[in-house]
Amino acid sequence: MTTETHTTEQAGAQQLDETAEILIIGAGFAGLGMGAQLRRAGREDFLIIERAGEVGGTWRDNTYPGAACDVPSHLYSFSFAMNPDWSGFYTPGPEIQNYLLNVTEQEGLRPHLRLNANMDEAKWDEQAERWIVRTPRGTYTGRYLITGTGHLADPSLPDIPGLADFAGDIFHSARWNHDVDLTGKRVAVVGTGASAIQVVPEMAEIASELTVFQRTPAWVIPRIVKPYSAATRRKFARDYESMQRERDDIFWFAESAYAQRRAVPAALAEVTANALGNLERAVPDPELRAKLTPSYMPGCKRVLSSNAYYPTFNRDNVTLEASALTRVEGNTAYGADGVGYEVDAIVLCTGFEAAQPPFAEAIFDGEGVSLADHWSTGMSAFDSTAVSGFPNLFAINGPNTSLGHNSIVYIIESQVQYILEALDRADAEGLRTLVPARPAEEEYVAKIQERAATSVWLMDGGCNSWYVDPRSGNLTLIWPDYAYDFRARNGHFTGAGFLSRGADGTVRPLAEQQPKAEATLI
């Protein structure tokens, strides 16, 4: 089974050791957004270290048939690089990847990229007060380390007896093997999450038989179909204010959906009726409908959108196995109820290592303690961006930054602004290190969990969500509030809760300052 990231640049690049003030890990939305804003702020001394051979992150890696975003196009993009040419309300994956390639060129980021440079180890050198990052391409040393690896970077592979011995073709949806032609084959899709509901209709069109293993049914609402005409795209290009209004309208409409996550009865009733109506219109068979009906609160797992997923199960060549895949014997895949299905290929739509991100295993503090060990009971960070015990480390897309109702790009831009202000503060006051105090981080995390306790993510005990860390039962992935509240709380660096080491080597609490006036656009 192949799971490595595909690259476009030669993997055997010559080793070269380099030094820069700022080292950024990852070249997806987070890394590129950080790099772009550093350049716009006049900071050129940075490197973006990327394990693959091209930029793009999720949208470089996820090339499965039907790949598309479930966040509206004009919101799933940078506020400083709005795109008038989106083809429609929702965007196919290749368009997003092309957008990120264009941003890379337009923002002048190519000279800062170091591709095919997987972060094998990043360690804080206490004496030198520098981060040392070792990669196959070389060793990079920097004053600051910024991680931007994303939540959906490393595929989660299920531990299922016999799966490794399966004789047919098998791959994860995020590592699609385009050399394999599945036309006319008996295909099994494992999982019914965000990727699966896009993959399943595509497989049904070409497979002789398709079996879908469903551990838990999803809430699926109708998908808005709204192409942007050539005339509309020309208007957006000529009149950026009209494009900004489109973006603003989408943002505030998305924010209104947060009431569902707070389990407001009227909001829950509305989304439930929408999803069940979608199911009833698409699937006439009551027995099949019952298998596709969730038993948990909408929003505990991501609410999905599709007009093609439910109708697929009416096809004669499609079978819904309403239980998880439990074992594979030869070419037979068995569900939990003991029924076996002969298959030629298995597509794993089994999600990602989000709650326990592999990058944390490679980052070490000055005493050799890994970030993974620091997070042994769940990810946590002060202001969702900085980690106690790890000086000059900032995490974009880290703990409590994901959203179930709005755009992660908005959160990323908020964190980028926070980091820029932290760098400015350090420069202005001659500070050598910045690190949050542990009590401040613990207090911040406690408040988040208190807020999360009355949300659908923690209220529904029957919902097994990847947003919740199973080791602690804490909500570690999701920001349990409005997106605009994240920016109000975490979009500026005030210094409160931080310890700093000044030019004289003395460590002291950093004085709190009033945040800058909010000037960023949605």
Radius of gyration of the chain (CA): 23
Q: Is residue 338 in a domain?
A: yes
Q: Is residue 372 in a domain?
A: yes
**Residue 100's pLDDT is what?**
98
Could you tell me if 72 and 207 lie in one domain? no
Determine contact, residues 261/219, Cβ cutoff 8 Å: no
Comparing 236-240, 353-357, 398-402, the range with the smallest average pLDDT is 353-357
Could you tell me if 275 and 416 lie in one domain? no
Could you tell me if 188 and 335 lie in one domain? yes
Say whether pLDDT at 331 is over 80.
yes
Single out the residue of 155, 158, 169, 470 nearest to residue 336, CA to CA.
158
For range 188-215, the mean pLDDT:
97
Domain coverage including residue 310: 163-218+257-348
Between CA 378 and CA 415 the distance in angstroms is 20
Q: How far is CA 426 from CA 125, 430, 438, in A?
A: 19, 6, 20
For range 208-229, the mean pLDDT:
97
Could you tell me if 176 and 269 lie in one domain? yes
Could you tell me if 70 and 27 lie in one domain? yes
Between CA 224 and CA 306 the distance in angstroms is 8
Q: How confident is the model at residue 16 (pLDDT cuts 50, 70, 90)?
A: confident
pLDDT cut 70: percent of the chain above it:
96
Could you tell me if 277 and 407 lie in one domain? no
Say whether pLDDT at 117 is over 50.
yes
For range 254-282, the mean pLDDT:
95
Determine contact, residues 498/436, Cβ cutoff 8 Å: yes
Largest CA distance in the chain: 75
Could you tell me if 340 and 373 lie in one domain? no
**Side chain identity, residue 300:** C
| Beta-carbon contacts of residue 271 (< 8 Å; ≥ 6 apart) | 219, 221, 257, 260, 298, 299, 303
Q: How confident is the model at residue 466 (pLDDT cuts 50, 70, 90)?
A: confident
Say whether pLDDT at 268 is over 70.
yes
Specify the DSSP element, H or E, that contains 134: strand 130-135
Could you tell me if 323 and 412 lie in one domain? no
Q: How confident is the model at residue 522 (pLDDT cuts 50, 70, 90)?
A: confident
Specify the DSSP element, H or E, that contains 310: helix 309-312
- The count of structural domains within the chain is 2
CATH number at residue 321: 3.50.50.60
Between CA 419 and CA 21 the distance in angstroms is 14
In tens, the pLDDT along 228-249 reads 999 999 999 999 999 999 999 9
Determine contact, residues 182/203, Cβ cutoff 8 Å: yes
In tens, the pLDDT along 50-66 reads 999 999 999 999 999 99
Classify strands 507-509 and 498-501 as parallel, antiparallel or unpaired: antiparallel
Instruction: Supply 84's token pair.
Output: 């008038």
Between CA 375 and CA 398 the distance in angstroms is 12
Q: Is residue 101 in a domain?
A: yes
For range 290-312, the mean pLDDT:
95
| Beta-carbon contacts of residue 442 (< 8 Å; ≥ 6 apart) | none
Structure-model confidence comparison of residues 15 and 315, the more confident one: 315
Could you tell me if 30 and 44 lie in one domain? yes
Say whether pLDDT at 75 is over 70.
yes
Q: How confident is the model at residue 518 (pLDDT cuts 50, 70, 90)?
A: low
Determine contact, residues 292/258, Cβ cutoff 8 Å: no
**41 φ/ψ angles, rounded to the nearest 5 degrees:** -90, 5
Looking at 348, 373, 399, which one is the last position of a domain? 348
| Beta-carbon contacts of residue 91 (< 8 Å; ≥ 6 apart) | 68, 69, 73, 76
Between CA 78 and CA 205 the distance in angstroms is 35
Could you tell me if 52 and 95 lie in one domain? yes
Looking at 348, 377, 395, which one is the last position of a domain? 348
Between CA 126 and CA 138 the distance in angstroms is 21
In tens, the pLDDT along 357-367 reads 999 999 999 99
For range 87-99, the mean pLDDT:
97
Q: How confident is the model at residue 461 (pLDDT cuts 50, 70, 90)?
A: low
Q: Is residue 432 in a domain?
A: yes
Structure-model confidence comparison of residues 517 and 469, the more confident one: 469
**478 φ/ψ angles, rounded to the nearest 5 degrees:** -90, 145
Sheet strands side by side (includes 169-172): 169-172, 345-348, 186-190, 209-213, 318-321
Q: How confident is the model at residue 10 (pLDDT cuts 50, 70, 90)?
A: very low
Q: Is residue 242 in a domain?
A: no
Instruction: Supply 277's token pair.
Output: 């109506």
Say whether pLDDT at 460 is over 80.
no
Could you tell me if 288 and 397 lie in one domain? no
Number of other CB atoms surrounding residue 225 within 10 Å: 9
Instruction: Supply 245's token pair.
Output: 């209004």
Looking at 327, 348, 369, which one is the last position of a domain? 348
Could you tell me if 371 and 331 lie in one domain? no
Say whether pLDDT at 7 is over 90.
no
For range 338-352, the mean pLDDT:
96
**What's the pTM value of the predicted model, to 2 decimals?**
0.94
Q: Is residue 223 in a domain?
A: no
Q: Is residue 193 in a domain?
A: yes
Q: How far is CA 211 from CA 151, 203, 305, 314, 516, in A?
A: 28, 10, 21, 13, 55
Q: Is residue 238 in a domain?
A: no
- In the chain, count of helices (H) and strands (E)? 15, 21
Comparing 131-135, 264-268, 412-416, the range with the smallest average pLDDT is 264-268
**Side chain identity, residue 148:** G
Mean pLDDT of the chain, nearest integer: 94
| Beta-carbon contacts of residue 249 (< 8 Å; ≥ 6 apart) | none
Single out the residue of 480, 495, 497, 492 nearest to residue 516, CA to CA.
492
Determine contact, residues 398/385, Cβ cutoff 8 Å: yes
